[in-house]
Structure 1
Amino acid sequence: MRYIFPILALMATLAQAKAHEPNLDAQIRNYILENPEVILEALEVLSAREQRMALREKLSSHRQIFEDPPILGIGQVDAPVRVVEFFDYRCAPCKAMHPPLEKLVAANPDVRIEMRQLPILSPGSERGARFALGVQALLGNAAYATAHQALWTLRGPLNEASFRRLAEAEGWDYAAIAVAMESDAVSERIGYNRDFAVDMAILGTPAFVTPESVTFGTAEIEDLKALWLSQ
């Protein structure tokens, strides 16, 4: 059934063309016999188109990802093209890709890359995400950006000693942050991001999501730019 409507549309087009070209059937038949690979190519194009439509429909059920207010990211908060990046503090490719991503956004101010926590690589990954989100819940977005940058560049372990040092360096109350780290709100945020990743079959970080596309793992910056600006 999946190919009935495209085939009917093609038949209608051919019927119109035949009125002007009586030998069209023979010409088409000869061409297909001489080039049978065009049938497979056409089916591949149709399959890819259907996959894109299915992905777009699936993403539409996760509108919260794109409607959450800007919290942490690169670019203007009101940029019309919004890309959601899922990252892990233990993800080396995430960090390696960010300098070229910053250049991409600087050259294309219509693009905003909004960063979201997806701690999947280690127990330390989750501890780091909880610390950053705990700071955000307790002290706001500016403090969250500070905590994020500190964790992003941290060379040591993501553990209580590191978090305490970071908090003390900023004059924050670590005991209060430690409580916020274990709050239901922080757990729900991390859980939501993980559930989204599972539903969309995201198998690693960095992962870049728009209302029409999902890309994860390392990718060429120019390819990402072409994809995002085409949507």
Structure 2
Amino acid sequence: MWIILLMLLAVSPAARVEEVAAKIDGQAIPLAEIDTPSRAKIVRLHQALTDEAARALDRLIDRQLQASSEAKFPSPKPVTDEAIRAFRASRPEDFEGPFAPLETKRNPAAEWPAIRLYLTQKALESVQAEARRRLRAGHAIKVWLPDGPELEQPLSPIRTVALVDDTPITAEMLEQATALRLYRLRKEIYLERQRCLETSVENRLLSEEARRLGIPIEDLLAKMTRDTTVGTKELNASIESERAAGRPVSDPDRARQYLAFRKAYTRRAALVKKLRDSARIEILLEEPSLPRLPMIELNAPILGALDGPRLIAYTNYRCTPCRAAHREIDRILAAQRNVRVVFRDFIPVYDPVADEAARLSRCADRLGAFGRVRSELLGRNPPAFGEAWYTDDALRTLASRLDIDSDALVQCLSSPELGEAIEQDTAEAHELGFEEAPSFVVQGIPLSGMQSAKSLAGILRNQRYPGRLSD
């Protein structure tokens, strides 16, 4: 029998030591105070942290059980043409209606591969759910899931968060399994609190100034809006300035209101700056540290040095930002001879064009021609969705031109191992926390989206990210 003991280690607010977000001249601003304006969002983010930790812990438990039993999740039965016809006939609005995918509207031949993939994925989910149930049967699994507030900071590495038949899963393993996703949620909480803290500090300074002057805070704020009348001369000068800058003003009354608001805002900002300069302000909020991800190569194609600073690039040859990223990588390789670049396939959505290119590049790597085929793929525009990069004759011509054995290339492309390897790369990228291509792990530092050669090279040289992590 499968036994799971789930314990949420939620600590009541009363039991927690009151945390301090900042101090002004020794006077504390409690964390609870700055959380109040965005309480609903903080609660939502805490729940997201708990949910993410639970998903990662589930994966770790399954891996531990698989490793001990050497069991593998089975593959579903192939989807038949009859099943595809039945699915297509049962949902005509999905393929013919106003919200049907644009690609299938342009190319009806793309419907069947898309339906086959969808049905295969649904069957895989069902098969894996049953396999997971059987895998856990008869095992004693205890889980101590930290609550959201605890997960705001990295847990103690040696802390046990689960036991699988008395074999521990530690917090360090949990942090590694979902480092990037936890970081993003922690960073979102930090940024939300930082915004609220700025407002809280400003309000505290203004309230203290009003107390010093012996007047209500409302009177102090009212003083800032006095004498903000905008005269005709001042208004006309502003309108003329806007017109000269190519921004004609259509409503002078609104312009007058804006100028009056700007006067009051400038006056308030000047006072707040003066108060800040004369106060001793300690900001105690700590920005979460950047995660360090594993540098996984998995026999992927490699260019550059045998050893040295490493860049793992999760890309494909179809998406426009990916192709631009490849060109930036070429600039790095040309400028830094000691850099090692590992190319992993990342195809986040169904895309037969990207899949074909990934197969070509992997086979070229096996045949010792990865660099040449990569240049070939980047040197031509990707075909339209549903069309092939190369027909059979064109493929053999390509092989001859690049000095590759054409029979070996054709045989390689039909290997079932290729699809599994591409899926494994994509699954790895998702598990690391990436959602879009291109994505990178540069000396352990994760980056998402298009990156310039300059920024990537800077990290490779310094082994630290000089700015903000891309989300």
For residues 357 and 24 of structure 2, what CA distance do their matches in structure 1 show?
A: 68
Alpha-carbon distance change, 171 to 230 in structure 1, aligned in 2, over 3 angstroms: closer
Residue-pair matches, total: 196
* Structure 1 residues 155-166: aligned runs within 5 Å: 155=381, 157=383, 158-161=389-392, 162-166=394-398
- SS across alignment from 2:340: strand
* Structure 1 residues 137-156: aligned runs within 5 Å: 137=366, 139=367, 141=368, 143-155=369-381
For residues 305 and 459 of structure 2, what CA distance do their matches in structure 1 show?
A: 19
For residues 26 and 187 of structure 1, what CA distance do their matches in structure 2 show?
A: 60
Alpha-carbon distance change, 27 to 200 in structure 1, aligned in 2, over 3 angstroms: same
> Deviation at 1:185?
3.2
* Structure 1 residues 13-162: aligned runs within 5 Å: 27-29=25-27, 37=201, 42-45=284-287, 48-49=288-289, 52=290, 55-56=291-292, 59-60=293-294, 65-66=296-297, 68=298, 71-73=301-303, 75-79=304-308, 81-120=309-348, 122-137=351-366, 139=367, 141=368, 143-155=369-381, 157=383, 158-161=389-392, 162=394
Alpha-carbon distance change, 111 to 156 in structure 1, aligned in 2, over 3 angstroms: closer
For residues 434 and 26 of structure 2, what CA distance do their matches in structure 1 show?
A: 43
- SS across alignment from 2:317: coil
Amino acid at match of 1:118: F
Aligned residue among 411, 416, 424 for 1:179: 411
TM-score when normalising by structure 2: 0.35
Percent of aligned positions with the same letter in both sequences?
Answer: 21
Alignment gaps of 5+ in structure 2 = 1-8, 11-15, 34-196, 202-280, 384-388, 465-471
For residues 339 and 378 of structure 2, what CA distance do their matches in structure 1 show?
A: 22
- SS across alignment from 1:113: strand
For residues 171 and 108 of structure 1, what CA distance do their matches in structure 2 show?
A: 28
> Deviation at 1:145?
2.1
Runs of 4+, deviation exceeding 6 Å = 30-35
> Deviation at 1:90?
1.1
- SS across alignment from 2:459: helix
> Deviation at 1:89?
1.1
Alpha-carbon distance change, 29 to 108 in structure 1, aligned in 2, over 3 angstroms: farther
Q: What is the root-mean-square deviation in Å for CA atoms of aligned residues?
A: 3.8
- SS across alignment from 1:224: helix
Larger-gyration structure (1/2) = 2
> Deviation at 1:178?
2.3
For residues 457 and 407 of structure 2, what CA distance do their matches in structure 1 show?
A: 43
Contact 1:87–1:119 at 8 Å: present in 2 too? yes
Task: Name the structure 2 match of 1:15.
Answer: none
TM-score when normalising by structure 1: 0.65
For residues 299 and 363 of structure 2, what CA distance do their matches in structure 1 show?
A: 17
Amino acid at match of 1:154: R
> Deviation at 1:27?
4.7
> Larger % of helix: which?
1
Amino acid at match of 1:132: S
